[in-house]
Amino acid sequence: MQKTWKARTRDGQEAPEELASQIAKGCGVSLRMARLLWLRGVDSPAEGNVYLDPRLRYLSSPRLWHGMAEAAGEIDRRLAEGGRLAIWGDYDVDGITGTALALEVLRYHGISASWHIPDRRTEGYGMNEAGVEALARQGIDILLTVDCGISDEKAIARARELGMTVIVTDHHIPPQLLPPATVICNPKVGGGPCLSLSGVGVIFYVMAELNALLARRNGKKMDMRSVLDLVALGTLADLVELEGQNRILVQNGLKILADARRPGISELKAVCGFSPAAALGAGQVVFSLAPRINAAGRMASAQTALDLLLSTDFDACRRLSTMLDGYNSLRRQEEDKICEAAMLEAEQLPDDPAYVIAGDDWNQGVIGIVASRIVEKFNKPAFVLCRDGACLKGSGRSIEGFDLHAGLELCANDLVGYGGHRMAAGIRVMPEKLEDFRRHFCEAVRGSLGSAPVPPVQYIDAELDFSGASNFAFLKELGLLQPFGVGNPEPVFSVHSLIIKKIRTFGIKKNHALLELADESCGITLRAKAWRGADRFTSGMEGSRIDLAYTPSIDMYNGVASVDIKIKDWRPANV
């Protein structure tokens, strides 16, 4: 489907020129760069300087979030009384990194803690009463959740019945009825400086406060900078908005990831084809490191990934990284097989405003990825489901403009349970209610978006001809906007009426295209890459004119600086 190009704005407005000039002068950047900063929420030179140089000194105190200081104080008190602590984490990257972070801080202070990460296939997401009872039999009386718990009312009620102190650290949308935990730490419950913290971000602040409390008793204090690699990895993998505190945590965490002092990170980078000392961008973390950690919980046991992050033995980490790489290969094979079947089914339903697709024998560890690929191809909300015991378990993804969680609220009577947020959610539904859910979900989407297909949108930050794209001073400024991701999109520029001089394919499968494009307005010709775009550019297009949506950057291949142009979208000129 042809994308609709729209100018990126803030609340429908373009950057005020006077304010943009103030930001440019106060931050020492170009006016063009100042406009980009304003589009990303910067309203003053002071905010711009923090944005461009997000140092750790700008991190907020844990005491500014509801419940964090109380949670740390309660854990400290119960540990001093001789309590035994266990961590209940989630099996995705956010939960695994958060669990590793909490264990590392406790171990630094000589505190032994148990942990439990549920098996995706036999236990599913979140807490369960059987697991809580098993921990109680082990003598656990302090239960700390990581990236889960806010929707687990029954399991937490059971833990309290068994005499446990329960500290919930989570970041998911809370239900109307909160669980009866001793303390709840969730930015969406009570607020704080950053409502979009990831699960690992929440536990980072709680453990930072606990670290300070423990230091008062034992005289030693851990340098929390050493775990920022875990925070960056989990935050990026969970696709939360990279703004405010998240931006500070991730940018500084990427520096620790580059150092790779953690043996597990060093070996994981190596198995991904990077030098252990390589500096990685957000995209490389999201598309290379994170999938291998996620693959453990999807295809086998998340324990493998947790062991990798906690181990100090390089040989062991090399073996564990190889295992994760193997799991990821299996995950890709499963994903391709299921995706092919799901795509065929979706193609048979061209008039549906959304997709609800189920397969009995599909691997529940990859259905979320398949849902994402369906959304990417058809630009419609989608749920993909598989058999899970007596019911069906589904994972959904949405598009801009449709609140998935709000849509599920309209279908709640069809579901055994559901949870999530605007863009992603999980559901459970009995097989006999599947058709009812499909009908009601499609009605919810149609009521929100209308009956006509919604074309995908390509946002354009500004027009930029190839003379601007070749300006290395400006390209260096663009680099200061990183890391890019949700809430901090990479700037996309447009340029009109380029001549395609030459097209060739590259890559092992010859599925990428390299174009030689001439901008007659300034007399500059540049090469541009269309990743996985060989089917969109054929040799017969040479000599034709196109409008281009693209991102420029500096490429330092072999130590030589050149302009790298990545094609985001294109259309015939004069459209």
Closest Cα to residue 541, out of 507, 575, 498, 492?
Answer: 498
**Can you give the pLDDT at residue 1?**
67
Pairing state of beta strands 391-397 and 424-429?
antiparallel
pLDDT at 560 over 90: no
Tell me the per-residue pLDDT of 171-205, one tens digit each, with 9 for 90 and over.
998 988 999 999 999 999 999 999 999 999 999 99
Taking domain 62-222, whether its CATH number is 3.40.50.1100 is answered by no
pLDDT at 337 over 60: yes
Give the pLDDT band (50/70/90) at residue 420: confident
**Can you give the pLDDT at residue 302?**
95
Give the residue-averaged pLDDT of 417-443: 92
DSSP letters spanning 434-455: HHHHHHHHHHHHHHHH-SS---
Give the pLDDT band (50/70/90) at residue 575: low
Tell me the per-residue pLDDT of 471-523, one tens digit each, with 9 for 90 and over.
999 999 999 999 998 889 999 999 999 999 999 999 998 999 999 999 999 99
Give the residue-averaged pLDDT of 445-471: 94
Place of tokens 């072999």: 558
Give the class (CATH, top level) of 461-575. mainly beta
CA distance 252 to 232: 8
CA distance 529 to 533: 8
Between the CA of residue 90 and those of 147, 148, 298, what are the distances in Å?
A: 6, 6, 12
Count of other CB atoms within 10 angstroms of residue 292: 23
- SS3 letters for 74-122? HHHHHHHCCCCEEEEECCCHHHHHHHHHHHHHHHHCCCCEEEECCCCCC
> What's the mean pLDDT when you consider all of the chain?
95
Provide the sign of the torsion angle of the four alpha carbons 286, 288, 294, 299, taken in this order.
positive
**Can you give the pLDDT at residue 351?**
92
CA angle 307, 310, 315 (to 5 degrees): 70
Domain with CATH 3.10.310.30 in the chain: 349-449
Taking domain 349-449, whether its CATH number is 3.30.70.360 is answered by no
Longest dimension (CA), the chain: 78
Say whether 331 sits in a helix, a strand or coil: helix
Domain with CATH 2.40.50.460 in the chain: 461-575
Q: What percent of the chain shows pLDDT beyond 90?
A: 88
Report yes or no: 42 and 51 within 8 Å, Cβ to Cβ. Answer: yes
Report yes or no: 167 and 182 within 8 Å, Cβ to Cβ. Answer: yes
Closest Cα to residue 463, out of 547, 339, 405?
Answer: 547
The secondary structure element, H or E, covering residue 514 is strand 512-519
Spatial CB neighbours of 194, under 8 Å, sequence gap ≥ 6: 60, 187, 201, 243, 244, 245, 246
Give the pLDDT band (50/70/90) at residue 307: very high
Give the pLDDT band (50/70/90) at residue 389: confident
